[in-house]
Amino acid sequence: MMDALSVVSQLRDLASEPQNREAIVQDQGCLPGLVLFLDHKNPDVLFATLQTLRYLAELTPNISTMKNELGMMVSLENLMEREDISVDVTALAKEVFGILSAPPRPAPRSPERKKKSQFFLNSSNKKAKSVTLHIQGLDSTDQRSLCEEALLKVRGVISFTFQMASKRCTVRIRSDLPTESLASAIAATKVLSAQQVVRNEAGEEVFLPLNSSGVEVQQNAALPDYLPEEESPQAEADRAISRTAAKEDASGGWLNAAAGFLSKTFYW
């Protein structure tokens, strides 16, 4: 079973990969579901939904489809005018509304299109990569909190998603950040250790040892603007993204599960 926050959080992670953006917008269930999420009571769901829409709007051909989606512009305007939600949400709503309502530009790489929101951390990290870690000792929510604190301190970590059932964590990082830095930060907890999950030539998953000793870890001076939301325990099952390949095929797998959830929840 999925809940709204886990669905939109995973959909946002999928949308952060440029190759998935067209498939998400073309899917019959995802875009209408995101519009409905713009009216959700949970502010975390609202912010994650807006982040997802901001990613999707990075692909210029998506803009017209998104703008014409029933209820999209009205819902964004409502968020912009609300006074009972955070300024982060209203500011991002204004940015998305501005992008969708702007006249089409013949040159998609104009300077204005390169301007990024301070609330949209991932958009400034075009050269990013995803790493899947198997974390020994990841057996409870307390240990997950330790791991979260360790990863948040590493400069270059963009986002992460846990799959508690398989003791894994998918981490999106800057391409210039050594994977060993993640292992070193996790090892510093004294109770957790990490190995990288990769696929060999036969397509089988194997664990790659990571040298965590003697690796200098650059730390954030403060917490980043975007923090991963709490996931429901039920969402931490096999439906969660467990490897990069899942993002390379957005038309199947997890995206279909998310669309199915949206359809069952909102359509009869």
pLDDT digit string, tens, across residues 161-182: 778 888 888 888 888 888 888 9
Return residue ranges of the chain for CATH 3.30.70.100: 123-222
Query: Among residues 142, 217, 238, which one has the least CA distance to residue 246?
Result: 238
Question: How many angstroms separate the most distant Cα atoms in the chain?
Answer: 57
Q: Assess whether pLDDT exceeds 70 at residue 26.
A: yes
* Ranges 71-80, 98-107, 108-117, 222-231, most confident: 71-80
* Range 130-144 average pLDDT: 89
Q: What is the CATH topology of the domain spanning 123-222? A: Alpha-Beta Plaits (3.30.70)
CB neighbours (10 Å) of residue 130?
21
Residue range 216-231: average pLDDT? 49
Quote the CA–CA distance of 245 and 217 in Å, as a whole number: 28
Neighbours of 217 (CB within 10 A): 19
Q: What is the mean pLDDT of residues 81-97?
A: 92
- Quick one: angle between helices 4-15 and 30-37, nearest 10? 120
Please report which confidence band the pLDDT of residue 153 belongs to, taking 50, 70 and 90 as the band edges. confident
Instruction: Tell me: pLDDT of 125 over 50.
Output: no
What average pLDDT score do residues 207-219 get? 71
pLDDT recorded at residue 155 = 84
**Span 41-69, average pLDDT:** 93
Q: What band does 148 get if pLDDT is binned at 50, 70 and 90?
A: confident
Residue 117: is its pLDDT beyond 50?
no
Averaged over 27-46, what is the pLDDT?
90
Cα distances from 94 to residues 30, 34, 97, 182, in angstroms, run 21, 16, 5, 35
The confidence score (pLDDT) of residue 81 equals 92
